[in-house]
Amino acid sequence: MLVLEALRIEQTDFHLSADLTVDTGDRVAVIGPSGAGKSTLLAAIAGFVHPASGRILWEGRDISGLPPGERPVSILFQDQNLFPHLSVSQNVGLGVRPDLRLSAPDRDRVDQALAQTGLEGLGDRLPGTLSGGQQSRVALARALLRDRPVLLLDEPFAALGPALKAEMLDLVATLSSRKRMTVLMVTHDPADARRFAPRTIVVAEGRAHPPADTGAILDTPPPALAAYLGK
């Protein structure tokens, strides 16, 4: 269970409060107007933004004070998810050990992760030589290997075309449910939310609301979201 307990984030000209719980294994969309703080919410969970007050708990343990790398969390950013100077295998291998000193079994796990994400035979390539969809898969393969229970997606597939994006979301859904990962996904697109996430957190007007049923929220949105969705 991921708990945001009386969390308050303050930046110049911006504040966001959250008091909510996400059940383990849930897939949750985070939706709301631009600038409302969707990315900031994820950055706080990942450890890049320090809340002014409140706590973040995972399975009852306070993780608010941990540095990003030690949190039970993997995050995929909008861009710059891969090191362009490291090969695909090396990028994925960072999910096993951040110093890349990999044993033979470690390397087998890297190959397995590449296979699971449909990247067989591409291990020696540099990210720059891959297509956008393949690059997303590399980042996903690494997240699989890191094996952290929470996966945060800060619109990593935003630059992909609709068909490719749908394909990636289905892949994330398959892999994350196999590992029983809890997934929070920022999105602008209600269709993505319906396709991928049974539950949805609405972020609007300085507040992240507790997750609710995605279909219900999108069919009868609260006023702040309605304006954004154009309903």
Partner 1 sequence: MADRAQPVARTLATGGVPAALLLALTLGTLAFVAVRADGFSALGPADWVAVRFTLWQAFLSALLSSLLAIPVARALARRRFPGRGLLIALLGAPFILPVIVAVMGLLAVFGRAGLLNDGLALLGIPPVSIYGLGGVVLAHVFLNLPLAIRLLLQSWLAIPAERFRLAASLGMGPQEVSRFLERPMLRAALPGIFLAIFLVCLTSFAVALTLGGGPRATTVELAIYQAFRFDFDLGRAALLAVIQATLSLTAAIIALRVTVPAAFGAGLDRPIERWDATGGLLKLQDTTAILLAAAFLVMPLAAIVLRGLPALATLPGPVWQAAARSLTVALASMSLTIALALPLAIATARARSGLARGLDSLAMLPLATSPLVLGTGLFLVLRPVADPVALALPVTALANATLALPFALRILLPAAHAAEADFGRLADSLGMSGFARLRLMTLPRLARPLRYSAALAAALSMGDLGVIALFSDPDHATLPLQLYRLMGAYRMSDAAGAAVLLLLLSFTLFWVLDRGGRPDARA
- Judged by the rule CB under 8 A, the positions of this chain that interact with partner 1 are 46-48, 50, 65-70, 73-75, 77, 80-86, 90, 94-95, 98-100, 126-128, 142, 146
Q: How far apart are CA 141 and CA 144, in angstroms?
A: 5
Closer residue to partner 1 in complex, CB, 50/179: 50
Report the nearest approach of partner 1 to the CB of residue 94 (Å): 5
Pairing of the two strands 61-62 and 73-76: unpaired
**Rounded Cα–Cα distance for residues 226 and 112 (Å):** 44
Pick between residue 52 and residue 227 the one whose CB is nearest to partner 1: 52
Of 117 and 214, the one with the shorter C-beta distance to partner 1 is: 117
Residue 202: both structure tokens together: 């609405």
Give the sign of the dihedral formed by CA 39, CA 43, CA 45, CA 50: negative
Q: Which is nearer to partner 1, 12 or 80 (CB)?
A: 80
Which is nearer to partner 1, 185 or 217 (by Cβ)? 185
Assess contact for 197 and 27: CB atoms under 8 A.
yes
Residue partners of 95: CB distance under 8 A and separation at least 6: 74, 113, 141, 142, 143, 144, 145, 146, 147
CB of 33 to partner 1, least distance (A): 24
Beta carbon nearer to partner 1, 139 or 218:
139
CA distance readout (Å), 221 to 75, 103, 192: 28, 51, 16
CB of residue 205 to partner 1, shortest distance in Å: 27
Nearest distance in Å: CB 147, partner 1: 13
In the bound complex, what is the minimum distance in angstroms from residue 116's beta carbon to partner 1? 19
Rounded least distance, CB 82 to partner 1, Å: 8
Tokens 């004070």 correspond to what residue? Answer: 65
Task: List the structure tokens of 185.
Answer: 């996904």
